């Protein structure tokens, strides 16, 4: 989970655990995310906030794609058309989002990745 807002991160972490995730790893900065991606951790799926501390996270998304980690974008910004062009097929969930919508999008991304 790439999310810089502590309360949102805690809510999404609990939502994921309630829906069956065995572990949720949270990164709140670009540097933390890079460390997790480059580390020994392997991820089944990721939720990527488009902006962390005013910085765009598309480089993180590209790295996840290169490692075949399924992910969805979660964003409070409305420029989802640009994301769709740059990342075709990747779900963009607008904030504030409904928990079920987010979980469904992550599960769908993970299923699609396994089928590929």
Query: Tens-of-pLDDT digits for all 116 residues of the chain?
Result: 999 999 999 999 999 999 998 899 999 999 999 988 887 777 889 999 988 888 889 999 999 999 899 999 988 876 667 777 889 889 999 888 788 899 999 999 988 866 65
DSSP states along the chain:
-B---HHHHHHHHHHHHHTT-S----B-SHHHHHHHHHSS---S-EEEESEETTEE-HHHHHHHHHTT--EEEEESSS-HHHHHHHSTT--EEESS--HHHHHHHHHHHHHHHHH-
CA distances 92 to 9, 42, 83, 88, 108, Å, are: 17, 22, 8, 10, 12
Q: In angstroms, how far apart are the furthest CA atoms of the chain?
A: 35
- pLDDT at position 57 is 92
- pLDDT at position 116 is 54
- pLDDT at position 104 is 93
Cβ neighbours, 10 Å, residue 56: 12
Instruction: Say what the pTM is.
Output: 0.90
């Amino acid at each position: 989970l790439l999310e810089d807002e502590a309360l949102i991160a805690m809510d999404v972490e609990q939502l994921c655990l309630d829906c069956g995730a065995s572990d949720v790893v949270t990164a709140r900065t670009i540097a933390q995310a890079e460390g997790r991606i480059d580390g020994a951790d392997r991820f089944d799926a990721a939720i990527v906030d488009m902006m962390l501390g005013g910085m765009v996270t598309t480089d993180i998304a590209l790295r996840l794609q290169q490692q075949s980690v399924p992910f969805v974008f979660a964003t409070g910004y409305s420029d989802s058309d640009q994301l769709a062009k740059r990342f075709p097929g990747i779900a963009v969930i607008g904030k504030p989002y409904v928990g079920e919508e987010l979980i469904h999008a992550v599960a769908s991304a993970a299923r699609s990745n396994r089928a590929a």
